[in-house]
Each structure stands twice: as C-alpha cells, then as structure tokens.
Amino acid sequence: MSSYQVRKTPGDTAWFRHDRFGMFIHWGLYALPARHEWVKTREKITDEDYDRYFRHFDPDLFDAHEWARQAKAAGMKYAVLTTKHHEGFCMFDSKYTDYKCTNTPAGRDLVREYVDAFRAEGLKVGFYYSLIDWHHPDFPIDPIHPRRDDDNVQELNKGRDMHRYAEYMRNQVTELLTNYGKIDIMWFDFSYPDNNPPDKPWLKGKGKDDWEAEELIALTRRLQPDIIIDNRTGIEQDLWTPEQYQPQSWLRDKNGELVTWEACQTFSGSWGYYRDETSWKSPEMLIQMLIQTVSLGGNLLMNVGPTARGCFDYRAQNALQVYADWMKFNSRSIYGCTMAEPEFSAPNGCRLTQSEDGKRLYVHLFQYPYAFLELPGFGGKVEYAQFLHDASEIQFTENQSDHFSEGRTEGEGLLVLNLPVIKPPVVVPVIELFFRNL
Ligand code: GLC
C-alpha cells in the first residue's frame, strides 16, 4: 500500500485521486469574440456592446454526446463545465435571471445536455460556477470589473447590494444542485481580497466574506452530501487548484499535511476559445504534464474551449487525440497510481508512478536513454519488466552489468534494464515493473 497519507477533508476524494484525469470545459458567450474569456473586462466592453454575443449565440453543431465521447476516448474520467463564467451568462435555465442560454438562439438548457451526455458515457460530472459576475446589477464594480476605469464608479456602485448578489448565487447553486441529479464536483472561482489598488480606494477586491462563502459551502454540502469542493471561495475545502502551474512537489497545507490537488491547464494559454492564439502545447508537453502531475500525487484537469458553433476546433481535437493515443495503451500508469514510494528515485530524464497497492511501478521515459537504463535500489525487487504499450518483455540484470571495459557497472541493488536501441513509437514510452512478493 502507498505510504502517503492524504489530509482528510469534508468531501471524500478517494474516487477523484484514483481517476487522476479530467476535462475542463470553458464555454460561454466569450466563444464568439474568440479572444479570451476575460475579453469583456480586458477590452472594457459595455453591457450594451457585449449583448451582440447574446443575440448571436447559436451553437447549432453542439452535440454533448460527441464531447463526452472525445473526453472518454482521451482517457478523462470526469469533467467540469462552466455553468456561468465571470461574464455572468448562464448556460442553464435559471429562474433568477434572463441572462441565460434559453433566451438566445441556442434556445436550450446546455448544462442539462452536458450532464446527461457525460453521465451516459460513465464520466463523473462537475460544475464550475463563477463567484465573479460582470453582468449582475448588484455586483459592485471592483478592480477587475469592466467598468473599473469609468469616471463615475462611486456613483455606479451606489445601490449595488453584495448581500443580494450572494443570495442570487445561493439560489442558482440550489438550482444547479437540485435539478440535474448527482453532481460530483463544485468548482467555485475565485477570490481576490487583496486586490485593493491604493490609488483607487473605492475599488475593493472580494473574498470569502463577500461571497458569504460559509453559507454557500454549507448549502452545497447539504444538497449534495458526496460532492467535492475546490478552495477558491477563500475557504479551504477538498481540493487545491494550482492554475497553469505545474508544482514540483506534492502540495502540502500549512501543517505539512499532503493535500488532494489538481493542476488545471490549457492546451493554449486561454480557457475560452481563442481563435488567434498560437501557443498550443506539443504532444510531448501534453503527455508529460499528465505524468508529471500523477508522479507528484496530483490530478490534471485539462481544458477545452469549444467554439460558438458548439464544437472542439481542430487543434483541440488533435490535442485530445494525443491523449487518446497514449492513454489507450498507457493508462495503467495513471489510474489508481500515485507518487512512487520514497525509496525509489527516478533516473535522469524519467518520472515514476506507482500503483496504490504498491505492486507495480512505472518508469516514464521523458528522454529516451541509450539501450540501458540503470535503476539503483531496484535490484532484487523486480520479478518481471515489460513495456506497457505492447507488453513486450524487457530483460534485465541485477547488481552488475558487463561492458567490457576496465571494470563494469556494479552495485548492490542495481537493476539494469536492457532496452531496444531505438525508441518505440510512443510519445512517452512506459516501463512496467512488477515487484516480487517480498
Ligand atoms: C481563473 C480565471 C479563468 C479560468 C480559471 C480556471 O482564475 O479567471 O478565466 O476560468 O481561473 O482555473
């Protein structure tokens, strides 16, 4: 058994830590301008101008089953969809606003279709819900709001009532967590209480007290007792969520306890569909990110930003295909795996994962070595070794390896794997080591 003890939290994250890989989906009106999901505030667009996207939101090619099939083929086990992003537009049929997809040419409840389709494919279902709302009339203008630089902010903020807005959120969260069956993850986003520009004292960041986060969380747990909640209300819950950042070690809380963490990453730097973005990650980066994450006991939530027609564009499909091709043969080193026990250290250019039961260890070859791989400390422990993608045997020697020079490489506990000279045609080849029953 893995010796790593993960900190207990109110929600049970065992299934989550087993599944390791999920799909984030950022979809909303911002898919139309197609230049970042923050476009409304980056370009300080007025409500009136932004309305053109509402009038033209017509995802006629949207097929949630197709999305779910692609997620599943990529090896993803759960998904998290933006039910509302910072722009305030609701992808579900809420009683509490007219600013929702059913009032656009889309004319349907998109969250419902997502939930039904993903569940039908056997994936777990999560909701992202933005705490920030750049459309709601009660949401006070703050340092990241599209109206922040208007001359009359103080005037505009008069009468905006954060308490009423917090109630609006509770009402919507109640809808989301009662009308769509079992929901596995709630992903609130995000808090910025320290963003208080000194030159504009009337602009104040927002945090847990503004969201009335304690109540929001209690409500969430009451409605869905088995749910997992992220930490971005400003109150630590089940999940830590490093964003566009790959931690270099297993994250720990302030008491030094290991936490359940999930890196969220993009294919290309933006979360919403961004037509002209060019920084798409290479196949190697995509696969290495997933392995690197699991090798440090974490999960990866990889994002897709569908187009306003309702499709994954060709670049996103290619990226998903990279995962599909690799996961088809190598997922055994991901699901139910975690950081290798401390007694095993990775050789140069490699990352290790180990099955939770401790019986199998996976060596991921980020850099393909020449025909031998030395693994100090593994000698005497391995019963059988193979490539994971084709289950072809990898022969090995222990404690020593002859190379007809003055001496030979030797060492107590040394394991030397004898690899093919040429790298197999796999983005990252994986060696599966079966331990002896000691
Ligand atoms: C953020 C951003 C955002 C994105 C997200 C995903 O902090 O505001 O647009 O939805 O986090 O992690």
Regarding whether 395 and 309 lie in a shared domain, the answer is: no
Candidate from 29, 40, 81, 190 with most ligand 1 atoms within 8 A of CB, to mutate: 190
Confidence check: pLDDT of 183 > 80 = yes
pLDDT of residue 406: 66
Q: How far apart are CA 420 and CA 395, in angstroms?
A: 10
Regarding whether 278 and 375 lie in a shared domain, the answer is: no
Please state the rounded mean pLDDT for residues 275-301: 98
Residue 28, C-beta contacts closer than 8 angstroms, at least 6 positions apart = 37, 82, 84, 85, 87, 89, 91, 272
Tell which atom from ligand 1 comes closest to the C-alpha of 232: 7
CATH of the domain at 203: 3.20.20.80
pLDDT digits (tens, 9 = 90+) for 400-421: 777 776 666 777 789 999 999 9
Count of domains forming the chain = 2
pLDDT of residue 69: 98
Contact between 89 and 135 under an 8 Å Cβ cutoff? The reply is yes
Q: How far apart are CA 309 and CA 32, in angstroms?
A: 9
Q: What's the gap in Å between 58 CA and the centre of ligand 1?
A: 24
End-to-end CA distance of the chain: 13
Q: What's the gap in Å between 104 CA and the centre of ligand 1?
A: 24
Q: How far apart are CA 48 and CA 33, in angstroms?
A: 15
Q: What percent of the chain has pLDDT over 90?
A: 96
pLDDT digits (tens, 9 = 90+) for 62-75: 999 999 999 999 99
pLDDT digits (tens, 9 = 90+) for 342-361: 999 999 999 999 999 999 99
Residue that finishes a domain, picked among 283, 304, 335: 335
Q: How far apart are CA 368 and CA 302, in angstroms?
A: 25
Taking CA atoms only, the protein residue closest to ligand 1 atom 12 is 243
Of the candidates 30, 29, 33, 35, the residue with the CA atom closest to the CA atom of residue 57: 29
Query: Is any atom of ligand 1 closer than 6 Å to the C-beta of 190?
Result: yes
Tell which atom from ligand 1 comes closest to the C-alpha of 190: 7
Please state the rounded mean pLDDT for residues 107-131: 98
> Whole domain around residue 125: which residue ranges?
14-335
Confidence check: pLDDT of 15 > 80 = yes
Confidence check: pLDDT of 131 > 80 = yes
Q: What percent of the chain has pLDDT over 70?
A: 99
Q: Mean pLDDT check: name the lowest of 52-66, 143-157, 392-406, 412-426.
A: 392-406
Q: What's the gap in Å between 85 CA and the centre of ligand 1?
A: 9
Query: Is any atom of ligand 1 closer than 6 Å to the C-beta of 262?
Result: no
Regarding whether 161 and 96 lie in a shared domain, the answer is: yes
Regarding whether 69 and 37 lie in a shared domain, the answer is: yes
pLDDT digits (tens, 9 = 90+) for 202-260: 999 999 999 999 999 999 999 999 999 999 999 999 999 999 999 999 999 999 999 99
Regarding whether 247 and 99 lie in a shared domain, the answer is: yes
Query: Is any atom of ligand 1 closer than 6 Å to the C-beta of 313?
Result: no
Regarding whether 331 and 344 lie in a shared domain, the answer is: no
* Token reading at 294: 């699991």
Regarding whether 330 and 344 lie in a shared domain, the answer is: no
Query: Is any atom of ligand 1 closer than 6 Å to the C-beta of 341?
Result: no
Domain assignment present for residue 2? The answer is: no
Residue that finishes a domain, picked among 304, 335, 366: 335
Domain assignment present for residue 75? The answer is: yes
Backbone angle region of 433, left / alpha / beta, with phi > 0 → left and psi within -120 to 50 → alpha:
beta
pLDDT of residue 401: 75
Q: pTM for the whole thing?
A: 0.97
pLDDT digits (tens, 9 = 90+) for 223-238: 999 999 999 999 999 9
Across all residues in the chain, what is the average pLDDT?
A: 96
